[in-house]
Amino acid sequence: MSFPLLDPSHCALVLVDQQAGLAFGVGSDDRQTLLNNAIALARTASVFKLPIVASTSATKVYSGPMMPALQHAIPDVVAIDRRNMNAWEDEAVRAAIVATGRKRLLVSGMLTEACVSFLALSAAAEGYEVFVVGDACGGLTPQSHELALRRMQAAGIQLTSWLQVLLELQRDWTRHETYDGARAIVEANAGGYGMGLAYARDMLKP
């Protein structure tokens, strides 16, 4: 039986089509919230030293580059541009994922109904354990986003959130090597929870 919780040594992050041209069409959630969540997830991967594979599509035609704020969070990651919707069917993207040597994939991107689900379903069919970070994915409508998540879940793909990923990788706030980085992400990106941590740090004394 495999260990049920995420572990940094087993995971890789795959970002699919986190591009402004696609974000324009997202109606499943507030776009700024989705960007915040994607940035938090990418920063989490960096803090815990997860390999990151990023892919974009139609950058010159419509979608544009990876969103600048997200690229700024992971400046060393170069997105692999492709032509088809299913990143798993792109030889360069697939080779990059395989080269990580990780069998647990955390997936975030747009659109949930297409590029996210196509990659997730294809990778799962080839033996990868796939976790779709649902609150860092955007769909055209709330209903189509939800239906895509339900289809992936029915195929054995697990659904999670960026904050659960961070807390699951940290698990113990006495893990000092990642404490500062993880806490900084929570304070910057986790809304009221982050505000509470900042308050506790600044106002409460042991």
Catalytic residues, by residue number, are 115
Write the single-letter amino acid at 78.
V
DSSP secondary structure of 37-82: HHHHHHHHHHHTT--EEEEEE-IIIII-SB-HHHHHHSTT--PEEE
b/e burial code for range 83-116 (CB count within 10 A of at least 16 → b): eebbbbebeebbebbeebebebbbbbbbbbbbbb
DSSP secondary structure of 89-147: GSHHHHHHHHHT--SEEEEEEE-IIIIIHHHHHHHHHTT-EEEEEEEEEE-SSHHHHHH
CB atoms within 10 A of CB 138: 29
* H or E element at residue 12: strand 11-16
